[in-house]
Amino acid sequence: MAKLLIKSGDRQVQEINLKPGINRFGRNATNDHLVVDPGVSEMHCEVLVEGNFVFVRDLNSTNGTFVDKNPITESALYSGQTLKIGPVEMILDAPVVQLAIPELPRPEAPAPVHSDKLSDGYAACLNHGNRHAVWECTSCTRCFCDHCVRKLRRVGGAYIKLCSACSNPVELTPWAAMMKKKKKSMFGKLVGKIKSSFKTTKRLLSNNNPPPAPPGTQPRA
């Protein structure tokens, strides 16, 4: 079971066991875990325990919520990291996430999950049959559009995109990779056309406006 160890100030080390689902922290007595400190807001933050994953969400607190000294709005929290709400610091003690799925018994002939094909031959989103699949799971090979994958924001602002079915990382589908390459190519061509047009205009202006004659000379008739 995941738990938080309070280590702030002169407090004795306390353990807070986190239940599955949402655990709310704050000064208000209606919270799941009461933190009596003037630097903690009435409804300060909530900690979500989902399987082996722990997430933190700030609830517009006055003094902010921090993970390893970095201010966050939403963030994953890993075992050994420090969660700070106001002046109170807590360390997450949770089992190390281990993917034990390959050890589970599997049927002899599992039914593969395949997305439908669109008219151009590329895979469609598993949930939206009229949309191109943008992401493919590296584990279960399910294909989803950008709206259907799980997006987890890490400390620092970067996002991790995970399969909505098995929570493993996803990668671009062949269609998405092709479109990304095509956009880069189109942008390069556009820049080239702009540069070429600029050079042509500059050359025409130069031909229509010859440089002025040196002082003391008469212009040619």
With respect to residue 64, please indicate whether it lies within any of the assigned structural domains.
yes
Mean pLDDT of 113-127: 84
Listed residues 167, 182, 197: the one ending a domain: 182
Residue 133's closest CA among 152, 115, 159? 115
Per-residue pLDDT reduced to its tens digit, 36-69: 899 999 999 999 998 888 999 999 999 999 999 9
Share of the chain above pLDDT 90, in %: 40
- Domain region containing 135: 111-182
Distance (Å, whole) CA 135 – CA 16: 38
> What is the pLDDT averaged over residues 159-182?
88
Q: Taking 70 as the threshold, does the pLDDT of residue 208 lie above it? A: no
> Quick one: DSSP state of residue 102?
G
> Distance between CA 2 and CA 52 in Å, rounded?
8
Residue finishing a domain among 59, 93, 127: 93
Name the least confident of 8-12, 45-49, 84-88.
8-12
Q: Is residue 100 part of a domain?
A: no
pLDDT attached to residue 102: 59
Considering the domain architecture, whether residues 46 and 14 belong to the same structural domain is answered as yes
CB 78 within 8 A of CB 62: no
Q: Give the pLDDT confidence score for residue 14 in this predicted structure.
A: 84
The answer to whether the beta carbons of residues 173 and 122 sit under 8 Å apart is yes
Q: Is 14 helix (H, G, I), strand (E, B) or coil?
A: strand
Confidence of residue 6 (pLDDT cuts 50, 70, 90): confident
Q: What is the pLDDT, as a whole number, of residue 159? A: 80
pTM score: 0.43
What pLDDT band is residue 73 in, cutting at 50, 70 and 90?
Answer: very high
Q: Say which residues have a Cβ less than 8 Å from residue 196's Cβ, sequence separation at least 6.
A: none
Q: Confirm if 32 and 16 have CB atoms less than 8 A apart.
A: no
Query: Do 13 and 48 share a structural domain?
Result: yes
Pick from 60, 33, 27: which is nearest to 47 by CA? 33
CA dihedral 35, 36, 41, 42 (to 10 degrees): 90
In the block, tokens 């300060």 appear at: 44
Rounded average pLDDT over 18-38: 93
- Classify each residue of 89-105 as buried b or exposed e, where b means 16 or more C-beta atoms within 10 Å of its C-beta: bbebebeeeeeeeeeee
- Strands 21-26 and 33-34, by their bridges, are parallel
Number of domains present in the structure of the chain: 2
The mean pLDDT value for 180-205 works out to 70
Determine the average pLDDT of the residues in 121-129.
Answer: 90
Is residue 66 domain-shared with residue 125, that is, in the same domain?
Answer: no
Report whether pLDDT(186) > 90.
Answer: no
Q: Give the per-residue pLDDT at 166.
A: 87
